[in-house]
């Protein structure tokens, strides 16, 4: 079944599964135990930490394993309860794992400003400069948007944060495996990642935390993860994520080229099959392989169901309930009119998609939008 929803999640890579099977079967010791089985499990975790750190040019001590990308974001944001400065600058197009948390923190005295975006889904660095207040204690702006794939002017934003002496966190969940990521190049203080977005297992992620960046744990208990994240570690999950990151490092250029090619073939064919289609996002600054397309006069939930019936799986940014479609907040923030918003689908391609699959997808879209 052609699967075109890789921004939602990716199928596990066979080599990752193999690694996890071996680790699940043979490394049962609690990594905190000091006997041989425990030490073996600990060694597996530390091997993954080294691989992951090396892949993003970080130090091993700067990697904190978590249960998801959402948890990494939550850890950073809930940490503000104990901070002196309680204002956050974020953006209007963050994932709910940032925006909903910021809303929940408001009754606790933590305020936030959500920067607007332009119709390409990008923040203006000057808006960040203007939003900084004397009590701004954190800037949290995603690097790549999950619905439209736009890449933020991250270096310019970080430069502003550095000049103001404010820690910068980025939700980078949609980046790894799509574009090069080096913490030497992107000088964020904290970045959140999630394994299931790059052919790793679900339910495991990590936070990169630059040395000396202040952070409080979200989950307290044992002293795991240098006391930043209590709980017996998900040893097979962490090992699988380490392998998935190693594969990203090894194959990044090849994967990027493949996705770029699929995207360009799809765009070519979809514009011919559906001449009225509108492509959203930023043509210049976007990750390869993600296409947000609106089909004026159509409803995204109906299109999605028709594709699903033909065994083609895609996603819509808008949520549907009780027969109506709720517009996507991301597209709303990009000032996309409501009728266009509710007619939008997201196609996100992956390593196992082929040229003929994306050509067939465009052909089917032509049929179902004209019929
Ligand atoms: C930008 C972004 N942030 C955070 C998340 C949440 O990641 P996880 O599923 O690991 O909690 C997602 C997943 O959809 C995402 O796209």
For residue 144, give the CATH number of its domain: 3.40.640.10
Query: From the CB of 146, is ligand 1 less than 6 Å away?
Result: yes
**Segment 70-126, tens digit of pLDDT:** 999 999 999 999 999 999 999 999 999 999 999 999 999 999 999 999 999 999 999
Mean pLDDT over each residue of the chain, to the nearest integer: 97
CATH number at residue 331: 3.90.1150.10
Residue 69's pLDDT band (cuts 50, 70, 90): very high
Q: Has residue 4 been placed in a domain?
A: no
- Let me know whether 77 and 213 are in one domain: yes
Q: Which ligand 1 atom lies nearest to the CA of residue 142? A: 1
CA of 174 to the centre of ligand 1 (A): 8
Distance, CA of 325 to CA of 8 (rounded, Å): 19
- Let me know whether 43 and 176 are in one domain: yes
Q: How many CB atoms lie within 10 A of CB 223?
A: 12
The last residue of one of the domains, among 248, 278, 304, is 248
The one catalytic residue in 17, 252, 320, 364 is 320
Concatenated DSSP letters for 240-262?
A: HHHHHHHHHHHHHHHHHHHHHHH
Q: Is the pLDDT of residue 322 over 90?
A: no
| pLDDT, average across residues 245-268 | 98
> Cα 263 vs. chain centroid, distance in angstroms?
19
Query: From the CB of 142, is ligand 1 less than 6 Å away?
Result: yes
* CB neighbour list of residue 205: distance below 8 Å, 6 or more residues apart: 65, 66, 67, 68, 69, 70, 71, 72, 173, 192, 193, 194, 195, 241
Query: From the CB of 348, is ligand 1 less than 6 Å away?
Result: no
From the number of C-beta atoms within 10 Å of its C-beta (0-12, 13-18, 19+), residue 106 rates as exposed
- Let me know whether 109 and 157 are in one domain: yes
320 in active site: yes
- Let me know whether 207 and 301 are in one domain: no
Q: Residues, the chain, total?
A: 371
CA of 370 to the centre of ligand 1 (A): 34
Contact 346, 314 (CB under 8 A): yes
Q: Has residue 335 been placed in a domain?
A: yes
Backbone angles phi, psi at 308, to 5 degrees: -60, -40
The last residue of one of the domains, among 248, 269, 296, is 248
- Residue whose Cα lies nearest atom 12 of ligand 1: it is 173
- Residue whose Cα lies nearest atom 11 of ligand 1: it is 70
Q: Has residue 5 been placed in a domain?
A: no
Distance, CA of 288 to CA of 109 (rounded, Å): 39
Q: Has residue 9 been placed in a domain?
A: no
- Let me know whether 181 and 111 are in one domain: yes
Distance, CA of 73 to CA of 95 (rounded, Å): 10
Contact 281, 325 (CB under 8 A): no
Q: Has residue 7 been placed in a domain?
A: no
List strand residue ranges (DSSP E) for the chain, in order: 63-66, 87-91, 111-115, 136-140, 168-171, 190-194, 205-209, 278-280, 290-294, 319-321, 324-326, 344-348
Distance, CA of 353 to CA of 100 (rounded, Å): 33
Residue 317's pLDDT band (cuts 50, 70, 90): confident
- Let me know whether 235 and 293 are in one domain: no
Query: From the CB of 143, is ligand 1 less than 6 Å away?
Result: no
Q: Which ligand 1 atom lies nearest to the CA of residue 71? A: 11
- Let me know whether 182 and 122 are in one domain: yes
Domain of 281 in residue numbering reads as: 252-370
The last residue of one of the domains, among 198, 216, 248, is 248
Q: Which ligand 1 atom lies nearest to the CA of residue 205? A: 10
pLDDT above 70 coverage of the chain, percent: 98
Residue 325's pLDDT band (cuts 50, 70, 90): confident
Sign of CA dihedral 33, 38, 44, 50: positive
CA of 319 to the centre of ligand 1 (A): 16
- Let me know whether 194 and 298 are in one domain: no
Angle between helices 355-370 and 300-309 (to 10 degrees): 120
Q: Is the pLDDT of residue 319 over 90?
A: no
Residue 368's pLDDT band (cuts 50, 70, 90): very high
pTM for the whole structure: 0.97
- Let me know whether 283 and 207 are in one domain: no
Q: Has residue 8 been placed in a domain?
A: no
Q: How many CA atoms lie within 13 A of 128 on its CB side?
A: 27
- Residue whose Cα lies nearest atom 14 of ligand 1: it is 8
- Let me know whether 185 and 280 are in one domain: no
Q: Has residue 206 been placed in a domain?
A: yes
State which of 140, 147, 194, 202 you would mutate to test the pocket of ligand 1, scoring each by most atoms of that ligand within 8 A of its C-beta.
Answer: 194
Distance, CA of 251 to CA of 235 (rounded, Å): 24
- Residue whose Cα lies nearest atom 16 of ligand 1: it is 146
- Let me know whether 222 and 261 are in one domain: no
- Residue whose Cα lies nearest atom 15 of ligand 1: it is 173
Q: Which ligand 1 atom lies nearest to the CA of residue 68? A: 10
Distance, CA of 198 to CA of 359 (rounded, Å): 24
- Residue whose Cα lies nearest atom 13 of ligand 1: it is 8
Residue 132's pLDDT band (cuts 50, 70, 90): very high
- Let me know whether 160 and 55 are in one domain: yes
Q: Has residue 75 been placed in a domain?
A: yes
Domain count for the chain: 2
């Amino acid at each position: 079944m052609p699967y075109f929803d890789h921004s939602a999640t990716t199928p596990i890579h066979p080599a990752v599964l193999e690694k996890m099977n071996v680790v699940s079967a043979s490394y049962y010791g609690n990594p905190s135990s000091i006997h041989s089985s425990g030490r073996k499990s600990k060694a597996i975790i530390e091997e993954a930490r080294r691989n992951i750190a090396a892949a993003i040019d970080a130090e091993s001590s700067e990697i904190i394993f978590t249960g998801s990308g959402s948890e990494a974001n939550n850890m950073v944001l809930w940490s503000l309860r104990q901070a002196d400065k309680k204002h956050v600058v974020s953006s209007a197009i963050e994932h709910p794992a940032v925006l909903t948390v910021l809303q929940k923190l408001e009754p606790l005295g933590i305020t936030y400003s959500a920067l607007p975006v332009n119709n390409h889904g990008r923040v203006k660095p000057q808006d960040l400069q203007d939003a900084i207040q004397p009590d701004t204690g954190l800037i949290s702006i995603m690097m790549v948007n999950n619905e439209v794939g736009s890449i933020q002017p991250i270096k310019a934003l970080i430069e502003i944060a550095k000049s103001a002496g404010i820690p910068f966190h980025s939700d980078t969940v949609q980046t790894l495996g799509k574009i090069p990521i080096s913490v030497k190049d992107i000088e964020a203080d904290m970045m959140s990642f999630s394994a299931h977005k790059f052919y790793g297992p679900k339910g495991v992620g990590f936070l990169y935390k630059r040395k000396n960046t202040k952070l409080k744990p979200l989950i307290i208990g044992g002293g795991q993860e240098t006391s930043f994240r209590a709980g017996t570690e998900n040893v097979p999950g962490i090992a699988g994520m380490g392998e998935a990151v190693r594969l990203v490092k090894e194959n990044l250029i090849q994967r990027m080229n493949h996705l770029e090619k699929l995207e360009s073939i799809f765009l070519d064919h979809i514009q011919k099959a559906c001449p009225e289609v509108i492509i959203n996002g930023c043509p210049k600054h976007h990750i390869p392989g993600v296409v947000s397309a609106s089909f004026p006069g159509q409803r995204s939930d109906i299109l999605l169901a028709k594709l699903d019936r033909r065994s083609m799986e895609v996603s819509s940014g808008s949520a549907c309930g009780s027969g109506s479609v709720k517009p996507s907040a991301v597209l709303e923030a990009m000032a996309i009119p409501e009728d266009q918003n509710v007619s939008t689908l997201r196609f996100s391609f992956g390593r196992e998609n082929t040229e003929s699959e994306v050509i067939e997808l465009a052909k089917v879209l032509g049929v179902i939008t004209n019929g």
